[in-house]
Amino acid sequence: MDVNTQSLMPAPPAASGARAGESWGSFLWFLVKLLALVLVFRTFVFSPFSIPSESMLPRLMNGDYLLAAKWPYGISRHSLPFDLALPDGRLLPGVPERGDIAIFKHPIDSRDYIKRVIGLPGDRVAVVNGEVVLNGIRAARAPAPDVLVPLSPNTGCAWGGEAEPAAEGAGEVCRYKAFRETLPNGRSYTVLDFGPWQADAFSERVVPPGTLFVMGDNRDSSMDSRFPASAGEGVGFVSQDLLVGRAAVIVWSTDGSADWLNPVSWFSAARWDLIGNRL
């Protein structure tokens, strides 16, 4: 019986070059989708920030790394790559609540700043003897236990603190006098106040439309809305169009003592008690 031997032969394998081309194309498409997902996440969900100063002690310390929620205040050009302009300033704008810890762009030098929201548009805000007066009502303030901040390369002892040996283990801590401040809406938090300072008096002013009055929790070491906007210093009343996000959670914190050549120090330098704290 005649057999067509050609029909029984296996088909020749596909060219290796074609397979390689398909593999590279799939990989590049995967990278495009991954970058798009990261962009969407950073634009609409969360974005990372680091704390470079001690103006928000004791809640936030130099060396803290946190995530800021982007959706509560709306999406502005500061949420987009390269600060691309939006026609209406913000998409789906939201007004912060008194007591929020907000991240925003400095109105002059565009650096990231982080402060606590005290006054909203239309509020009458004053500071008398270092105490907040909001719409004619003095914010409740009660003495709180002293705050002990471990001294490290990232955290020194400011002019209002006193260095002393740590109660447990080696090293030193800085002792600060603290108060518990409660806004009329019930939001409560700890502030540091070292005594008389130039910004302890701020005559009553009305917060203009579309702006916020913000302050640092470390009241005597914070350049905030009590000072006129100036590069690297005060911020004045902060436009809501400069909002970037609301501080949400500390994802990492380091005291600055890590040596990159010594992986063990990466763990010993971590402030494990702060990591995961919600803000």
Q: Which positions are annotated as active-site residues?
A: 55, 115
Q: How many Å apart are CA 273 and CA 279, to the nearest integer?
A: 14
Pairing of strands 112-119, 101-105: antiparallel
Task: Give the up-direction half-sphere exposure of residue 34: CA atoms within 13 A in the CB hemisphere.
Answer: 6
Q: What are phi and psi of 267, to 5 degrees?
A: -85, -35
Beta-strand runs (E) in the chain: 46-50, 64-69, 75-76, 90-91, 101-105, 112-119, 124-128, 131-134, 137-138, 140-150, 162-165, 172-182, 188-192, 202-206, 211-215, 238-239, 243-253
